[in-house]
Amino acid sequence: MRIPLVFNLVQGYETVSYGQRLIVSRFLGHDSNMRAVMLIALAAASPAGGAFGVWKPNEARSTGGGGRRIVTLRIEPHASGEVFTLDTQTSDGRASTSSTILYFDGKPRDFRDSVCSGTQSSRRVDGRTVEILRECADGAQIRLVRRAAQPGVLILEMTERQRDGRHSERRLVMERQ
């Protein structure tokens, strides 16, 4: 369940929504609307602007299996990069959500979810591609590559290498919801 942030004009805040983007700016007088418009324009023009939103896998066009099924991918703007959230479900029906900030600077940062505890780094490979690398403390490695294929379609390629050498690959075709 997601709880939206609500700011009250009486407290001096104004909320401006544009599509999937949410900009919250300090109400400082008549030019605050202009600042909000500038921030919206910058977010829309960013390389990731087209990736923001909620995505669901097209099972018929996706390949590979695994113990966890991705139910939803959410990509949201963040002051330092993006928020990357995966909602998954295990084969026995247990649901989980993993959310992380992608900084796109290639630096390893502490990371922990239900599958991996270790470090995560992220970088932009080009204007359409993002790479996320997770190095788990137990020696496992998870590599996710997100690529904008065409408007309204993202490709999410996941490669997992277990510490015992087992290797799995999945390619999910994600469609905007």
In the chain, domain spans? 9-45, 49-176
What is the rounded CA–CA span in Å between residue 13 and residue 27?
Answer: 5
24 DSSP 8-state letter: E
* Range in 15-24, 67-76, 148-157 the model is least confident about: 15-24
Report yes or no: 78 and 100 within 8 Å, Cβ to Cβ: no
Residue 10 confidence (pLDDT) above 90: no
Read off the pLDDT of residues 16-60 as tens digits, 9 standing for 90 and up: 333 333 333 333 344 444 444 444 444 444 455 689 999 999 999
> What pLDDT was estimated at residue 49?
64
What is the rounded CA–CA span in Å between residue 136 and residue 117?
Answer: 5
Q: The tokens of 51 are what? A: 């990736």
173 DSSP 8-state letter: E
Query: Which amino acid, one-letter code, is at 75?
Result: I
What is the rounded CA–CA span in Å between residue 169 and residue 98?
Answer: 20
Place of tokens 């599509």: 19
* Mean pLDDT score, 137-146: 97
List for the chain the helix, strand, coil content (%; round to 5): 15, 55, 30
The domain made up of 49-176 is a member of CATH 2.40.128.20: yes
63 DSSP 8-state letter: B
